[in-house]
Amino acid sequence: RDGVAWVTGAASGIGAAVALELARQGWTVAITARRLDRLEAVARQAEGLAGRIVAHVGDVTDAEGQRRLVETIETVHGPIALAFLNAGIAPPRSGALVDAAGLAAAVEINLLGTARSLAAVCAPMAERKRGRIAVNASLAGYGGRPGAAAYGASKAGLINFCEALQPDLARQGLVLQVVNPGYVETPLLGGRHGGRPFLMPAGEAARRIVAGFGSD
């Protein structure tokens, strides 16, 4: 009743699962990523649910593009009441002892990409003095894991970034949350399930994440 939901990085994995869970609960969900065909495939899975999913192409590396995307979603579908900023990558291991290029790629998408999306959606939400934003980080952001230096560092930066922003956003009437999943069965794992303790199906993770949207 307050508006629509926006989910970034929703062509697969946690983003797609969260979008479908929101649609089950009656939301209109705008999903974005770079591949329209994959987004439309997710949208078709929502047919027959209480809500609906609509697909829009979006690229988190383009700040102005994200601003225009938010403007389009709000013009076509209504104000964004809930944003789940989920777009992210896990760079493959390069074999280099120190993979500076992998770190740069992870920071570009996971940290700066989220910041661009956050800036785009915060502006109209702040004008309305209400809105909820959830940022998908990771438990990997709380401690270094061998083989995931780039991914973990980008997620640690994301957690710190959101912790620092939260009081400012709260003063504007906005709720900022950080979601820190453990291992979730998604394409990000690349089919590697060995050594993944407490591995959770994406659907179960989505149910827990969406339940958390109702908390303060």
CB 63 within 8 A of CB 116: yes
How far apart CA 71 and CA 91 sit, in angstroms, is: 31
CB 8 within 8 A of CB 42: no
Amino acid at 69: L
Q: How far is CA 73 from the centre of its chain?
A: 16
Closest CA to 141 of 99, 110, 165, 173: 110
The active-site residue, picked from 151, 161, 183, 213, is: 151
Told to judge if 142 belongs to the known catalytic residues of this protein, a careful annotator would answer: no
Largest distance between two CA atoms of the chain: 52
CA–CA separation, 159 vs 104, rounded Å? 17
Contact 134/212 with Cβ under 8 angstroms?
yes
DSSP 129-172: T-EEEEEE--GGGGS--TT-HHHHHHHHHHHHHHHHHHHHHHHT
Q: Give me the active site residues, please.
A: 151
